[in-house]
Amino acid sequence: MSKSKKKAGPKAVKEPKQEKAPKRPLVVFAFRLSEADRDAIHSAAGPGKATRFVLSAALAAVAGDDKAFKALVDARARKK
């Protein structure tokens, strides 16, 4: 019994990977809150989005970005 090999066509030339911009070093910022507050944040933010919600709210407040903060509040209000 003989096995026949398929002839491989010409191999595609791989393009070199582009260098990614270096990522900024990240740190952890933690705070304590009650279970009720945590549950309220999770409820307002939606499934799996609590960290992004809190981070966006905090950064908008620090920057004095009323428009971004109001957009977060409005998005939360639409979920109810």
Task: Report if pTM > 0.85.
Answer: no
What would the pLDDT profile of 41-53 be if each residue is shown by its tens digit?
999 898 889 999 9
At residue 63, the pLDDT reads 96
Whose CA is closest to 76, among 52, 53, 51? 53
2 has pLDDT over 70: no
- Give dist(CA 50, CA 38) in Å, integer: 9
At residue 6, the pLDDT reads 66
Cβ burial of 45 (10 Å; 0-12, 13-18, 19+) is buried
28 has pLDDT over 90: yes
